Amino acid sequence: PDRSFSGRRALVTGAGKGIGRAAALALSGAGAQVVALSRTQADLQSLEREGTGIETLCVDLGDWDATEAALSKVGAIDLLVNNAAVAVLQPFLEVTKEAFDRSFDVNLRAVFHVSQIISQQMIARGVQGAIVNISSQASQRALQDHAVYCSTKSALDMLTKVMALELGPHKIRVNSVNPTVVMTDMGRINWSEPQKAAAMISRIPLQKFADPGTAMIQLCSEFVRVLEAAALFPLGASKNQSRF
């Protein structure tokens, strides 16, 4: 089969930094026309300066109405990567309403909303679309101070399964990718403390965190393979994946 993404248009959320930015560049390198959505204009401008022809869309996915307005102008999308998320770490007993609401709004509600808009459009166009949700190992393991984040990602895994079930008949494949710690801004903020890091690293077979400078290249080629699988494998292959 043709394994390039040429002729396909991909929307990547949270593409200003970290994994989303790398995914946008990897997809663009694999031939897709990419729309990079993020919250900070300066990040999107620096992505435009990479000269890959990536289009950009600046919106806060925590804002339901602004998201709907921004996506009304996005054009045809064949592949959606729901990557944007926040990780606000607080001990369970100190979790605030603000952290809870912001986390669920961005990590879960926006995935519902963006996916509804894009999949309705895919169905109307009659295309075989694909959606990849970026979840986390935190969906399946209890992590200290991660009560809210773990809950959002666990809910996202179940959402991925129900979306796969309901969108499959419309020929839209839905998968998730569940990475371990990656040294993006999010990874650095939450995993730089040596004692905490050591406990996590001891459970990673390669005995190190993924780092966006070097391992990210490997992660991205792996990631593109997951995206390829999501985009191109027969519908029956659609399943919740855990690859990293």
Per the DSSP assignment, residues forming a β-bridge with 174 are 131
Least CB distance from residue 77 to ligand NDP, whole Å?
16
Q: Using the rule CB under 6 A, give the single segment among 17-25, 89-97, 124-132, 168-176 that binds ligand NDP.
A: 17-25
The candidate with the shortest Cα–Cα distance to 86, out of 145, 26, 14, is 14
Total residue length of the chain: 244
Q: Which listed residue (5, 9, 10, 16) binds ligand NDP by CB under 6 A?
A: 16
**Interacting residues of 228 by C-beta distance below 8 A, sequence separation 6+:** 3, 5, 30
Place of tokens 């979840």: 135
Instruction: Indicate which residue of 149, 175, 212, 227 is catalytic.
Output: 149
| Binding residues with ligand NDP: total (CB under 6 A) | 27
DSSP secondary structure of 22-64: HHHHHHHHTT-EEEEEES-HHHHHHHHTT-S--EEEE--TT-H
Asked if 8 touches ligand NDP (CB under 6 A), the answer is no
Least CB distance from residue 204 to ligand NDP, whole Å?
11
Secondary structure of residue 79 in the 3-state scheme: strand
Distance (Å, whole) CA 54 – CA 31:
11
The candidate with the shortest Cα–Cα distance to 80, out of 212, 227, 229, 226, is 227
Q: Which of residues 83-112 bind ligand NDP (CB under 6 A)?
A: 83-86, 106
Q: Which of residues 185-224 bind ligand NDP (CB under 6 A)?
A: 185-187
Helix pair angle (110-125, 64-71), 10° resolution? 20
Asked if 14 touches ligand NDP (CB under 6 A), the answer is yes
Asked if 146 touches ligand NDP (CB under 6 A), the answer is no
Per the DSSP assignment, residues forming a β-bridge with 182 are 210
Least CB distance from residue 216 to ligand NDP, whole Å?
10
Least CB distance from residue 243 to ligand NDP, whole Å?
12
149 given a catalytic annotation = yes
Asked if 60 touches ligand NDP (CB under 6 A), the answer is yes
Question: Residue-wise over 213-238: b if at least 16 C-beta within 10 A, else e?
Answer: eebbeebbebbbebbbbbbbeeeeeb
Q: Which is nearer to ligand NDP, 2 or 65 (CB)?
A: 65
Least CB distance from residue 231 to ligand NDP, whole Å?
19
Q: Using the rule CB under 6 A, give the single segment among 24-32, 88-96, 184-192, 222-230 that binds ligand NDP.
A: 184-192
Q: Which listed residue (119, 121, 175, 184) binds ligand NDP by CB under 6 A?
A: 184
Active-site annotation, residues: 149
